[in-house]
Amino acid sequence: TSLLILNGPNLNLLGTRQPEIYGATTLADIEDMCRAHARETNVSIGFEQSNHEGALVEAIHGARGSHDGIILNAGAYTHTSIALMDAISSVELPVVELHLSNVHAREEFRHKSYIARVAVGVICGFGAAGYPLAMDALISYLHMSK
């Protein structure tokens, strides 16, 4: 089993970016956490970040054939990107939508998600701990759908 963990715009700044909202953990720390959790759960992972919508579209395309599912924290593109939604529909891989913050407790414009329409489920509000939670959620989804 192989999972792609894909991170969108501004998540490269985690640790210094609005730590009161997103926490002090850096994206490198999160990657380490995910790699440790992958070893514990016996899966392999890819871990990527881009600030560019088109690069994220291509990462989703590229996941077909090399990964069994995707964990996607699309950052602000969550709320705007029909292109990312269409990319997910096109590859027919299960996607778990992830956010560090509880987007529903924040501004109205963060309540709408294009990703959620095509995701198997959503995890938000648990900070960095959401990453291993999302891995567990996707792994159990993949087992159920076998």
Q: For the range 143-146, what are the long-range contacts, defined as Cβ-Cβ under 8 Å and sequence gap of 24 or more? A: 145/94
Whole-angstrom distance, CA of residue 50 vs CA of residue 38 = 22
Query: Could you tell me which residues come within 8 angstroms of residue 122 by beta carbon, excluding any fewer than 6 positions away?
Result: 96, 97, 98, 99, 113, 116
Catalytic annotation present for 131: no
Q: Tell me whether strands 121-124 and 44-49 are parallel, antiparallel or unpaired.
A: unpaired
Q: Which two tokens stand for residue 100?
A: 């560090």
The most distant pair of C-alpha atoms in the chain lies apart, rounded to whole Å, by 41
Catalytic annotation present for 99: yes
Between residues 1 and 101, which has the closer beta carbon with respect to ligand DQA?
A: 101
User: Could you say whether residue 59 binds ligand DQA (CB under 6 A)?
Assistant: no
Pick the binder of ligand DQA from 73, 84, 119, 134 (CB under 6 A): 73
Q: Kindly state the number of chain residues that form the binding site for ligand DQA, as judged by CB under 6 A.
A: 10
> How near is the Cβ of 24 to ligand DQA at its closest, in Å?
14
Instruction: Return the closest-CA partner of residue 139 out of 27, 38, 60, 6.
Output: 38
Site string for ligand DQA, 19-38 (x = CB under 6 A): --------------------
> How near is the Cβ of 23 to ligand DQA at its closest, in Å?
10
Residues of each annotated binding site for substrate = 73, 79, 86, 100-101, 110
Site string for ligand DQA, 94-123 (x = CB under 6 A): -----xxx-x------x-------------
Report which residue's Cβ sits closest to ligand DQA.
75
Q: Which residue out of 67, 77, 99, 114 is catalytically annotated?
A: 99
Strand order in the sheet with 95-99: 44-49, 2-7, 69-73, 95-99, 121-124
Annotated catalytic residues are 22, 99
